[in-house]
Structure 1
Amino acid sequence: MPPDSPMRDEPAPEPSRAGTERRLSVLFVGRVNAGRSLMAEALLRHHAGHRFDAHSAGLTPVDRMNPFVLDRLRAEGVATDDLSPKPLDIYMAPEAPPVDIVITVSELAATGMAGAWPGQPVTAHWALPDPDPSLDPGVAADPEAVVDAVFQDLRRRIDLLAILPSHCLLALSHWNEESDESLRSAG
């Protein structure tokens, strides 16, 4: 690590008895948890479920999953049995299990939840179009084409996330804690 880097140069965490790094918990947050966030959850489980516990939730979840998203995931052989829209409240409650990484997939989730995550998880925003034309009037008349584009984009992003070492991702959350503490003590 360069000497002027703001992150500490720490050794990697000790592997578990099974010889693998700790599984990280990832939460994908969307507006209604019917398309993008559920697709991301399913893809992360499918491609890297051995390293990550994937979850998704919505600010105002709807009753059912987008049928075009469901069809696309099934066509790709991605399991969909456990997928359903869920409220964000279950992940924000004090008794909720900790989340290591929060990724928002809608502008509303990104702006509405900025800085509200308990436990200082690593946060990111993946700006993706909403594939449901009834929820996003700006979406093209062909929701299947939007679902296909979002699927391809998410698959690339999930593949990149999956190759990052866990200790590097966790170091980002520790760096965030140290940065916040520095700002509080300076002010």
Structure 2
Amino acid sequence: MTIPAERPSVLFVCVHNAGRSQMAAAFLTHLAGGRVQVRSAGSAPADTVNPAVVEAMSESGIDIAAEVPKVLTVDAVRSSDVVITMGCGDSCPVFPGKRYLDWRLSDPAGQGVAAVRPIRDEIEQRVRGLLDEIAPTGQA
């Protein structure tokens, strides 16, 4: 599937929307500079974003302290060009014509910031690769 020339939309999904999907969405928002519409959600959202994730992202210069986990909706999937799952299993709805990627990443839940840093760094690298693919710098 090709990504539309206009502003593509990406949805990051994990179970609690408190760690991996929040980091991925924050990196893509930060790096894309408005070239990509970014969403994140969870199949069973937590009450708050993981504090170790907030701290690890702050170390990278990105403040996600005000973010709140959101519930995954069919509309969010339907309105996204690319859906990236991170351990949400079979709870993610599948629609024809969407591009689905499954990023297998360690879960930062219950871990300290030292354990979150390598997960954060891997997510950043994957997001950079995705951004180069769907919205290269020379594109509007």
Q: Distance in 1 between matches of 2:128 and 2:7?
A: 16
How do residues 100-179 of structure 1 correspond to structure 2 at under 5 angstroms? 100-106=81-87, 109-113=88-92, 116-118=93-95, 120-133=97-110, 143-166=112-135
What secondary structure does 1:146 align onto?
helix
**Residue 99 in 1 paired to residue 80 in 2?**
yes
Checking the alignment, whether the CA contact within 8 Å between 1:46 and 1:79 is kept in structure 2 is no
Runs of 4+ with deviation above 4 angstroms: none
Higher relative CO (CA 8 A, sep ≥ 6), structure 1 or 2? 2
What secondary structure does 1:57 align onto?
strand
What secondary structure does 1:124 align onto?
strand
- Partner in structure 1 of residue 33 of structure 2: 49
The number of aligned residues is: 136
User: What's the CA shift for 1:112?
Assistant: 3.5
Q: Deviations over 1:101-133 (max 9, x none)?
A: 000011xx14433xx333531000000111112
Letter in 1 for 2:91: G
Q: What are structure 1's unaligned runs of at least 5 residues? A: 1-6, 14-20, 134-141, 168-187
User: What's the CA shift for 1:77?
Assistant: 1.3
Q: TM-score, normalised by structure 1?
A: 0.64
What secondary structure does 1:99 align onto?
coil
**Residue 26 in 1 paired to residue 7 in 2?**
no
Larger Rg: 1
Q: TM-score, normalised by structure 2?
A: 0.84
Change (3 A) 1:71 1:125: same
What secondary structure does 1:164 align onto?
helix
- Partner in structure 2 of residue 35 of structure 1: 19
**Residue 64 in 1 paired to residue 48 in 2?**
yes
Checking the alignment, whether the CA contact within 8 Å between 1:42 and 1:78 is kept in structure 2 is yes
Q: Distance in 1 between matches of 2:6 and 2:66?
A: 23
